[in-house]
Amino acid sequence: MNKKELQAALAIAHLYPNKGLGQHFLVHEAVALRIASLDGFAEGAKVLEIGPGLGALTGYLIAKGACITAVEIDAGLCHFLEKKYGDAIEIHHADFLKIQLPDEFSVCVSNLPYYCASEILFKIAAHYSMPRVYVMVQKEMASRIEALPGSKQYGAMTISLRLYFTVQRLFDIERQAFYPEPDVTSSFLLLERRQNMFTEQFIRTFHVVVKSAFWGRRKPIANALARSPHCAMGKEKAHTLCSEVGVDPASRAEELSFDDYIRLTHAFLEEAR
């Protein structure tokens, strides 16, 4: 669906892009075809599409024989999709953050609105086990997700997502590929599920450690862990744990690698036993 076709479809259906929902519809057919050609969308694949909009990508996925379950928050768009695709897709009129679907999907794809992108990613991470997640996000968000230690973009979200996924930026998408045009360039990412199986206790503790470290982002890591309201382990214990796992107690949260946080979590759990 190109720009003129999309505008015509919106007019016929008496629909308008909702700024409050961050709606920017894909109108570049080559981009939709490129996405549909990626691994995971073969015939019979169970696809979770979050925010399908007017179905710019949906139609190509149906043509490949994929089984689509779509979650769309906009009632008008749901009606449009039901009329256009009928029984070819399963549509849920819902906020993805408030609905729980069966964990039965092989792949997820979504053009994520910036205002709730991280919340959606963490819900996918925590409640679904599909091996591949394809997401379109603002380029700034992509840089935060794939950031390296020591960079300005590197933060708690970067490390926390890495517990579940490895990240690869596949390509960038210019503003002109959307209607209405967003203010920034977008990036298309592949998040592949890690095979590491951590216990629920480890995952909870990992998030506490990361949150505590970045609670005091400008503080030495030992001081941040010692004083954080999330764990408040005390100065002596914090220094000891850091030293035991080879982390300099004077380093900052943004200087630690993902593996450093894994070691700190293991040490924290051992100490608690």
Q: 151 with 210, same domain?
A: no
The pLDDT score that the predictor gives to residue 200 is 93
Residue closest to 160 by CA, chosen among 251, 34, 82, 258: 258
As for how many domains the chain has, the answer is: 2
The pLDDT score that the predictor gives to residue 19 is 82
Both tokens assigned to 49: 């599409």
pTM for this model (two decimals): 0.93
For the stretch 38-93, pLDDT in tens is 999 999 999 999 999 999 999 999 999 999 999 999 999 999 999 999 999 999 99
Checking if the pLDDT of 30 tops 90, the result is yes
CA angle 70, 10, 24 (to 5 degrees): 60
Q: Which domain holds residue 47?
A: 3-193
The pLDDT score that the predictor gives to residue 3 is 86
Q: Which strand ranges, in their side-by-side order, compose the sheet holding 132-138?
A: 89-93, 67-72, 46-50, 107-111, 132-138, 186-193, 165-173
The pLDDT score that the predictor gives to residue 259 is 96
For the stretch 81-119, pLDDT in tens is 999 999 999 999 999 999 999 999 999 999 998 889 999
Average pLDDT over residues 161-169: 97
For the stretch 248-266, pLDDT in tens is 999 999 999 999 999 999 9
Q: 135 with 255, same domain?
A: no
Q: 237 with 140, same domain?
A: no
Burial 40-67 (b: 16+ CB within 10 A, else e): bbeeebbbbbbbbbbbbbbbbbbeeebb
Residue 12's pLDDT band (cuts 50, 70, 90): confident
Beta bridge partners of 169: 189
The pLDDT score that the predictor gives to residue 5 is 85
Q: 37 with 121, same domain?
A: yes
Q: 90 with 13, same domain?
A: yes
| Domain end among 135, 170, 193 | 193
The pLDDT score that the predictor gives to residue 195 is 86
DSSP codes of every residue in the chain: --HHHHHHHHHHTT----GGGT--EE--HHHHHHHHTSTT-STT-EEEEE--TTTTTHHHHHHTT-EEEEEES-HHHHHHHHHHHGGGEEEEES-GGG----S--SEEEEE--GGGHHHHHHHHHHH---SEEEEEEEHHHHHHHT--TTSTT--HHHHHHHTTEEEEEEEEE-GGGEESPPSS-EEEEEEEE------HHHHHHHHHHHHHHHHTTTSBHHHHHHH-TTT---HHHHHHHHHHTT--TTSBGGGS-HHHHHHHHHHHHHHH-
Residue 151's pLDDT band (cuts 50, 70, 90): very high
Q: 85 with 183, same domain?
A: yes
The pLDDT score that the predictor gives to residue 218 is 81
The domain that holds 227 is classified in CATH as 1.10.8.100
| Domain end among 141, 163, 193 | 193
| Domain end among 168, 193, 218 | 193
Q: 158 with 62, same domain?
A: yes
Residue closest to 191 by CA, chosen among 257, 120, 255, 253: 120
Q: 183 with 216, same domain?
A: no
The pLDDT score that the predictor gives to residue 215 is 87
Residue 1's pLDDT band (cuts 50, 70, 90): confident
Q: 252 with 179, same domain?
A: no
Q: 53 with 179, same domain?
A: yes
For the stretch 169-204, pLDDT in tens is 999 999 999 999 999 999 999 999 998 779 999 999
Q: 185 with 227, same domain?
A: no
CA atoms within 13 A on the CB side of 251: 14
Q: 212 with 92, same domain?
A: no
The domain that holds 179 is classified in CATH as 3.40.50.150
